[in-house]
Every structure is written in C-alpha cells, then in structure tokens.
Amino acid sequence: METFTDVLLVTANVGSLFDNVGEIQNGWLQELYKTIHKCKPQFVALHFQEVGGKDYMVNMSQAESFFWNIESSTEMKDFDRVCVYVDNEFQAEDSFTALGSMYFIHKTLKDIYQYDFNVKEFKVVVGQNKYVGSLDRVATVEKEKFPKNFWPDFKWSRKGFMRTRWIIHNQGLDLVNVHLFHDASNLVACNSSPSVYSANRKNALRYVVNRISDNRYTAMPFFLFGDFNFRLDTLSLVQHLSTEADVQTVKKDSTNEVEKIICEEKNNDHQVLLHIEEKLFSYLHQALFRKDNGQALWKYDKEVATFHDVIKEEEIRFPPSYPYSEDYTQPTQYMNTRCPAWCDRILMSHAAHDCIHRSKDADEKCVVYNTMGPNVCMGDHKPVFLFFSLKTDNH
C-alpha cells in the first residue's frame, strides 16, 4: 500500500548569523519555526553551510549553541529522534568544511533507518544522536572536502559535501549537504561566458554526483541541497543591462588590469546605471531582481542546465536568495556587493523527483519550493525550503 510522509528540506548559509548575532538570529529561528508549524512535516532535514561564519575560530562555540537552541526548542518537542552532524574541527585544515546537518523525526513516524557506511547496512534510528567535531570516525555520515588540486589557481577553501542515507517506510534516500566555490571577483566573472568560476562549480558538482552514484554503495534517489553559489551568467547579463549605455573600463595605471567598469545612461544626465568592481555590483534599478521573482533574469541562470541529464529542480518562484542586506531594517534589499543570484537550491535526481507525490487536484499545493523569511532579515542568504509528500511503501 502506498503511503505518504510529509518532508521538509531546508538549506541555509548561516555564516552571517554568527558575524551579527542578536536580532537576526532570533528572527531567523522564528521564521524556521513558522515554516515548520505551517507545513507540519514528519521529517525535517536542515542543511547549513558556513557554520561559525567568516570568523569561525571565534564564533564556533556560539554556532554550537545555535544548534542546541533549535534542538531543545518547544517548537521541536514533538520530534522525538534527532541526528545532528556539525563539522567544526577547524584545526583540521585538510578536512574542515564548516557544514552542519540536522535531521528531526516526528513521533508519529515509524520505520526510519539510517545507513552505517562502515558495515554497509541500515540501522533503526533511536533517540538523540549528536556528533560535533571532525566527523571522520562517524559511521552514519560521509564527508569530503574538495581536493586541493580542484582549483590550482585559487585559494583552497572550506568547500565540500556531506551525505547521510535514510530509509523512510521502505523508500531509500541520500540527503547531501553541498557547498560549492563562490565568485571571488565580479570583474573576473565578467571576463567570459561561462565564467571561470562557473566552470569550477560545474567540475565540483559533477564530482559530487559521481561520488554519490559510484559503485561503493547501492545507488539511491538523492536530494542535493546547499549553497551551490550558482550565479547569473554575468557577462551576458551586463551586456544586456548596458545595451543603452556608454560603457567605460577603468584600468590601473601600473598593471593595465581592469579596476572598474562603469555604465552610464546616454541621456538622463549620464546617470551611472551600473558600477562594477571586484567586490562591488551596483545596479541603479535593483527592483528588477525582485520584480516577478526576477523572472526576466531566469534566462541567465544557466549553471544547473548542464546537469539536466542527472538532476531536476522544482520551478523557482522566488527572487534571488543572495546577497541580502544584513541590516535588519532592510530585509528585502540586496547588498551592492555581488549580482543577486539563486545561490541556494534544492536539486534532486530524476528518481527522487519521481518519489514526490503531486496532487491531481489543481487547488492543492502539495509541493512548495520557496524562501523562508522573505520580509524578515535572515542574513545575506535567504534560506530555501522544499516541502513535499514522499511516496513511500509501508509493507
């Protein structure tokens, strides 16, 4: 007999929560609980990136209390089994990823098993299971930092992935927390289409997909959710935005290197339409990124398209998830640091896509893909969630 289990997947880059605590963190938690209350899931998976923030050596203990806040909150009291994995061992430079994953199982949900990668078998989940540290010896999680030779021209960073494997009512699933390489310079991102950063992310994501589908373990339907750092095709976008403008490239005297790109409107007193520097992306008509959820820009969101052979995604109906202002009085404004983009995503294998129950009734919204806290400051990334009913078999 086919049964359905309500599942909520959430991905959140929480780096700025630790760099500016207080107001933002409280608002963030309230929005999470609101979403859980509204969706009433039986299984919740939270994937966090940048645990501890940029200043992780100072903030890591605070990050731990953030996790325990969620776990011990009255809002989560009906979830009687919890699995927590926090990679906070920043001294271990070869393996530190700053990834954290939390899984909550509701008391009404029976038959939940988790995979032990050492003995290669599933074991029933009971009680509270918390693992904080390097995670290297934890049998129920597989964690990997991307190899150093991935980006020989760039600084080696904390990027990587972490996988757990589950059976919910006879339905097996891989849940993979992912953090891919970012755009270090807006100017470099403008140099080519696709950009060098986009090519790096493509290699890294292909690596993850290959690792979770290789023959070490039986392949299973998978959900990949995290901060993919996918960006709009910046060169094409800038060409589009500056069609009616005078474009001026300013170079450094000493090296002839491009220092800034300035696009001025041809009329209108030569008002600056777009100003780009390494860490500045200031566009006069920022509302374009929010209008109709940024629909006019979807055609520049190309990075996931190269994976359509193995990956699907629900239709995006929310504005770019990054980079929001960290000023809690401006929760819908973007910062002028990067071109807004859909960095935070929930992707799935074709097999996982087939496991999602879709109602024949047009009025019933049984799959929701959206951002959390659209009108509340959540830090520089808006968390993204996917709520659905998982088709399971309870024989």
* Tens of pLDDT, residues 190-237: 999 999 999 999 999 999 999 999 999 999 999 999 999 999 999 999
- Reply yes or no on whether the pLDDT at 22 is more than 80: no
Confidence label for 394 from pLDDT (cuts 50, 70 and 90): low
Residue 167 has what pLDDT? 97
Residue 252 has what pLDDT? 87
Residue 270 has what pLDDT? 85
CA distance 161 to 47: 10
Residue 23 has what pLDDT? 78
* Tens of pLDDT, residues 249-298: 999 888 888 999 999 998 878 899 999 999 999 999 999 999 999 999 99
Residue 364 has what pLDDT? 62
* Tens of pLDDT, residues 370-388: 999 999 999 999 999 999 9
What residues does each domain of the chain span? 2-232+283-393
* Tens of pLDDT, residues 302-336: 999 999 999 999 999 999 999 999 998 999 999 99
Q: Tell me the average pLDDT across 129-157.
A: 87
**CB proximity list for 33: less than 8 A, separation 6 or greater:** 73, 75, 76
Residue 220 has what pLDDT? 96
Length of the chain: 395
Query: What tokens appear for 35 in the block?
Result: 């979403």
Q: Tell me the average pLDDT across 11-34.
A: 89
Confidence label for 351 from pLDDT (cuts 50, 70 and 90): very high
Confidence label for 118 from pLDDT (cuts 50, 70 and 90): very high
C-alpha distances in angstroms, 283 versus 142, 238, 242, 250, 301?
Answer: 41, 10, 10, 17, 18
- Reply yes or no on whether the pLDDT at 153 is more than 80: no
**CB proximity list for 68: less than 8 A, separation 6 or greater:** none
Instruction: Give the closest residue to 321 by CA, choosing from 374, 375, 387, 376.
Output: 374
| Tokens 């090296």 found at | 255
- Reply yes or no on whether the pLDDT at 248 is more than 80: yes
- For the chain, how big is the Rg over CA atoms in Å? 21
Residue 185 near residue 154 (C-beta atoms within 8 A): no
Instruction: Quickly name the fold that domain 2-232+283-393 has.
Output: Deoxyribonuclease I; Chain A (3.60.10)
* Tens of pLDDT, residues 79-102: 999 999 999 999 988 899 999 999
3-state DSSP call for residue 246?
A: strand
* Tens of pLDDT, residues 43-82: 999 999 999 988 888 888 888 889 999 999 999 999 999 9
* Residue, of 264 and 23, whose pLDDT is higher: 264
DSSP letters for 27-93: HHHHHHHHHHHHH--SEEEEEEESTT-TTHHHHHHHHHHHHHHHHHSGGGTTEEEEEEEEE--TT-T
Residue 20 has what pLDDT? 64
Q: Which long-range contacts (CB under 8 A, 24 or more apart) does 302-305 make?
A: 302/194, 302/198, 302/233, 303/194, 303/198, 303/201, 303/202, 303/228, 303/230, 303/231, 304/228, 304/230, 304/345, 304/347
Percent of the chain's residues with pLDDT above 70: 96
* Residue, of 392 and 276, whose pLDDT is higher: 276
Percent of the chain's residues with pLDDT above 90: 82
